[in-house]
Structure 1
Amino acid sequence: MDTSSPASPARRDVLRGAALGTTALAATAAGAAGTPDTAALRAAVKADHDVNIKRLQDWIALPTIAAEGRNIDQGVAHMTQLARDAGFQTVETIKPAKGIPAVFATMDNGAKKTLGLYFMYDVKQFDPAEWSSPPLEGRIVDRAGMGKVLIGRGATNQKGPESMMLAALHAFKKTGRKPPVNLVLIAEGEEEIGSPNFAEIVRTPKVLAALKKCSGVIIPFPSQAPGNGNVSVNLGAKGVIELELVASGEKWGRGPAKDLHSSNKAIVDSPAWHLVEALATLVTPDGNTPAIDGWFEHVLPLTPREKALIADSAAKRDQAREMAQMGVKKFVGDMTWQETLERLAAMPTINIEGLVAGYTGPGGKTVLPARAVAKIDMRLVPAQTKDDCVAKLKAHLAKRGFGDIEVNVSGGYDPTQTDENSALIKAELATCARAGIQTTVYPRLAGSWPGYVFTSAPVSQPAGQFGFGHGSGAHAPDEYLLIESSNPKVLGYDDAVMGYVDFLHQIAATG
């Protein structure tokens, strides 16, 4: 728990001065990029604080959930209007052959450089009974050691940080100034089901042509640690595969065609046990290392440089605080902190999201289920690919007598990697430095986003996450975003918005 006391007004002013580009260094970089009056922009952000928060709350109140087919048309329309309101001159929907449309928008500011923005307007499912505050209300509450936070589905993943970027663009618009870079926005509505159609959308000729003009692509991301405010700049992200493994009496040719009374287990095979046996072959006995045939064939080991970056990260990150935030007392293997962070970056994973079979209500119901389902996600590292890993999974199951088990892939994509010497990463680090925020560089985010579409051919541009502020609880109950910070090391909403303003200027100034 953060025990920092609230910052005094004077200390907050000093922090804002450092964070929002008022140092001599910031002025120098700003001048090179043709920066407008930063004070006017800051005043606009402050004046529109309530408007910006209300925009986020309204967005949270409209959840687009691809897995449930919920609010698809409304979500597309809302994202379209958000882009228009922020000043994008051309806004249109791009419809894949199947699936949910994306929103494509461009803003020509007559600048020399162009930045790509990746948004997602969909969110994960939620159960209101698990939340302390209504998940669609966006209620602002006090949180000890942090300040005021906004609770809601999408608060940190990703509507909150995306709303900060939109708020920055509104500040430019309100002050009658143009952002220092041109902008290309692509917002999808299927990220939370593994972006199954995103590559098709990006490779649409008009979208591809626009993205190829970009210096890089970012996904807004509230990246500050809640205690010391440090930022980890990730050079990539793991890939992901989402799928279901389904065992059934019908496909297996054994077991019941429909649920039976459990007394028949003495003479009838169980699809549920069949699935459990299959699952046990996918990992080592402790469940922590993939054991699929050939799984590590293309896995690249950490380079000496990556290990050095991780060592620096381990020295600057607070292990005890991160464990407390995760609610864990032990990490796999009881390794050192540095070894743990190396494993986090380098190890592909196979995770059981959920197991469903038979009766799951109150009390018991003595049935022998005819069908069992395991919901699985797999995280991939360079140079694994989605297609190769799915093929290896199917071959592994078939070789062991589980070829009847259905492998239903719902989405996924390859890992992504960006050169630490790219202009995009340099701009991120420079923006953090001007804000007085300590950074570490980490090989890759353990989570996933479809950045591979941007870093691979034919787009072939650097891509990464960027943003200040703090949020947590993605995919979980009580997801939150910090609005008013009581910790002088961590920026609240308005200051994080100004961080995006500064970043745009830095992109314009970085060679």
Structure 2
Amino acid sequence: MDFRTFDRLNRRDLIRGTTMLGAGAMLMRPLPSLAATGPMAGIRKAAEAGKEASIKRLRDWIALPSIAAENRNMPEGAAYMAELARDAGFTNVEIVPTDGHPGVFGTIHVGAKRTLGIYFMYDVKQFDPAEWSSPPLEGKFVAKEGLGTAIVGRGATNQKGPEAAFLAALHAIRAAKATLPVNIVLICEGEEEIGSPHFRQVATKPNVLAALKKCDGIFIPFPSQDKTGAVDVNLGSKGIIELELVASGEKWGRGPKGDVHSSLKAMIDSPAWRLVQALQTLVTPDGNTPAIEGWFENVRPLTDREKTLIREAAKGADEAAEKQALGVQTWIDNLSYDDALIRLAQEPTVNIEGLVAGYTGPGGKTVLPGRAVAKLDLRLVPNQTRAEAEKKLRAHLDKHGFADVEMNVSGGYDPTEVAEDSRLIRTELATYKKLGIATNINARLAGSWPGATFTAPPVSIPAGHFGTGHGAGAHAPNEYYLIDSTNPKVAGLVDATMGFAEFLYTLAAIK
């Protein structure tokens, strides 16, 4: 979900896959002075007074990892999310059951003329403590060169840190006895990290849907600032499907039902090779382009204007530094840098996340596996849909003689697009301008989030990302979120809190 220029890459950029389209930036004044005067002065004072309470909320939240993929702490995660919502002033808070893990819903109605939707996720990615420099559930404070002091922990930046900062803004407005300028609808899920398979059930529950349809737009709180302090405003993102393809002797009717000795390969078929052959049909021989029948028939190419903006952005980026950060020597198909950036934004993908079959421990073990699994993700672009893509993948496998290969879809959603002239995007741009933050416009995020749940019928409202502050390492070891900034251009926790408060008042006032 991160989207910033490539000459300002951090690890979150690399994981999420980002493209910057467009420029138009201004010099920033030091962040500690932001929103320090006028009607926001009382809110800032309250945010500063409530800082330690905000940090405690975040540390306690990090200590409770809700991991949907492992079915770990999911009821507890939903209950804690509901508690956080009530504590921040939301009423009618309910835990919404689904066919999977529950969501959470609540509202704050103050009789304002405008209503803002807020999307939260309370789940986090899996983690291996051995890969971390400090325990991933401890919330340890660590010095980050050129930035300041950050909190390290799973979920710190994706998304508990920025979500905690948004909640802190609500606490500060209430503590300052200020008038909340907009109504707020909160919708949360616990399955974002597994492709949001049941989130639509939450969003279309009658009372939730009725509340969402009143919103001028919805955003996910996001630590948008890079190390220079600049942000990108995202106008779209790719969709995704997460799935497994499984080849087995039992389903195939050939090969063993379980692992057997490898010496028998001369007389027994191999489900592992069966899976490899099926995978090879999904892409061109170089592995770079989907070869699934009809895959591109509904793809909307980038416009000439969008391509021009990408090429202009590439001129100001450091290609060599990006290659070094990514650990690559060449771009796909030996493309030039700007053509690679265009491809990143434009192309749907078929990616192998992992392959599992037989023995994978140290040394060798002479087995012929009876079952092989490939974990895939498919990135979708406008105007593809998840339903269309799933249907075409299944038809492709069947046509090529792989009807026995199981296709187990675990989650996914359509691409997201939002109009640049929507009130949501105009409010984002106006807020960043008011805060003196350099802003770029990103036409399409190569990463994914379930914004299409909101932009598509029956909800049909604009959806995007907003926030100041900085974090990195989402899905990776040593994930962090900046708390105390020593960089005058990058927001720490209090300034990130004030950024959200500023957005609320800007939305209320914008024409």
Alignment TM-score > 0.5, same fold: yes
- Distance in 2 of aligned mates of 1:14 and 1:87: 32
Q: In structure 1, what residue type is equivalent to 2:452?
A: Y
Q: Give 2:147's aligned residue.
A: 146
Percent identical among aligned pairs is 61
Partner of residue 58 from structure 1, selected from 50, 57, 60: 60
Structure 1 position 331, deviation (Å) = 2.8
> What is the alpha-carbon distance in structure 2 between the residues aligned to residue 331 and residue 486 of structure 1?
35
Aligned partner of 2:31 in structure 1 is 16
| Secondary structure of the structure 2 residue equivalent to 1:300 | coil
Match of 2:16 in 1: none
Q: Kindly indicate whether the alpha-carbon contact (under 8 Å) linking 1:289 and 1:349 is maintained by their aligned counterparts in 2.
A: yes
The one-letter amino acid paired with 1:70 is R
Do residues 335 (structure 1) and 335 (structure 2) align? yes
State whether residues 316 and 440 of structure 1, in contact with CA within 8 Å, keep that contact through their aligned partners in structure 2. Answer: no
The answer on 1:258 being equivalent to 2:258 is yes
Q: How far apart in 2 are the matches of 1:311 and 1:495?
A: 33
Cα deviation code 1:424-480 (max 9, x no counterpart): 101111111122221111112111111111111111111101111111221111111
How well do the aligned residues superpose, as a CA RMSD in angstroms? 1.8
1-structure distance, mates of 2:63, 2:140: 11
SS at match of 1:339: helix
Please give the per-residue CA displacement for 1:34-79, whole angstroms capped at 9, x wherever unaligned: xxx3111112212222221111111011011111111111111100
Name the amino acid aligned to 1:147.
G
Q: Give 1:231 shift.
A: 1.0
Distance 1:448 1:54, change over 3 A: same
**2:42 is the counterpart of 1:40:** yes
Amino acid at match of 1:216: G
Change in CA separation of 1:326 and 1:50 when aligned onto 2, cut-off 3 Å? farther
Deviation at 1:120, TM superposition (A): 0.5
Asked if residue 187 in structure 1 is aligned to residue 202 in structure 2, the reply is no
Aligned twin of 2:122: 121
Superposition map of 1:138-287 within 5 A: 138-226=139-227, 228-287=228-287
Q: Which residue of 2 aligns with 1:502?
A: 502
Cα distance in structure 2, aligned partners of 1:311 and 1:235? 18
The answer to whether the Cα contact below 8 Å between 2:261 and 2:367 also exists between their aligned partners in 1 is yes
Amino acid at match of 1:505: Y
Structure 2 length normalisation: TM-score? 0.91
Q: Distance in 2 between matches of 1:204 and 1:318?
A: 47
Give the superposition deviation at 1:288.
2.0
Aligned-pair distance for 1:335? 3.0
Report the CA distance shift for 1:322/1:47 in structure 2 as closer, same or farther (over 3 A).
Answer: farther
Aligned to 1:484, the other structure's residue is in SS state strand
Partner of 1:8: none
1:402 is paired with a residue whose SS is coil
Amino acid in structure 1 at the alignment position of 2:463: A
The match for 1:357 is 357
Amino acid at match of 2:31: R
CA deviation after TM superposition for structure 1 residue 106, in Å: 0.1
CA-CA distance at 1:274 after TM superposition: 1.0
How much has 1:241 moved relative to structure 2? Answer: 0.3
What amino acid does structure 2 have at the position aligned with 1:211? L
Structure 1 window deviating more from structure 2 (320-329 vs 410-419): it is: 320-329
Deviation at 1:305, TM superposition (A): 3.3
Bigger mean CA deviation after superposition, 481-490 or 417-426? 481-490
Structure 2 unpaired stretches of 5+: 1-6, 9-27
Does the CA-based 8 Å contact 1:130-1:477 persist in structure 2? yes
Answer with 414-423 or 46-55: which moved more. 46-55
Deviation at 1:94, TM superposition (A): 1.4
| Residues 343 and 272 (structure 1), Cα distance of their counterparts in 2 relative to 1, 3 Å cut | same
SS in 1 for 2:372: strand
Does the alignment pair 1:80 with 2:95? no
In structure 1, the residue corresponding to 2:156 is in which secondary structure?
coil
Within-5 A mapping of 1:421-460: 421-460=421-460
How far is the alpha carbon of 1:306 from its aligned partner? 2.3
Q: Which amino acid aligns with 1:497?
A: T
Q: Partners in 2 of 1:329 and 1:482 — Cα distance?
A: 31
Aligned length, in residue pairs: 486
Give the aligned residue type for 2:173: F
User: Counterpart in 1 of 2:51?
Assistant: 49
Cα separation, 2, equivalents of 1:75 and 1:322 = 37
Residue 130 of structure 1: aligned partner: 131
Residues 148, 487 of structure 2: 8 Å contact kept = yes
Give the superposition deviation at 1:319.
4.1
The residue type paired with residue 141 of structure 2 is I
Structure 1 residue runs without a partner (length 5+) = 3-12, 28-36
From the superposition, tell whether residues 499 and 120 of structure 1 become closer, same or farther in structure 2 (CA, over 3 Å).
Answer: same
Equivalent pair of 2:29/2:436 in contact (CA under 8 Å): no
Preserved CA contact (<8 Å) 2:35 2:41? no
Q: Distance in 2 between matches of 1:339 and 1:255?
A: 45
Name the counterpart of 1:9.
none
Q: 1:495 to 1:319 in 2, by over 3 A?
A: farther
Measured after TM superposition, the shift of residue 326 of structure 1 is 3.8
Matching of residue 68 in structure 1 with residue 83 in structure 2: no
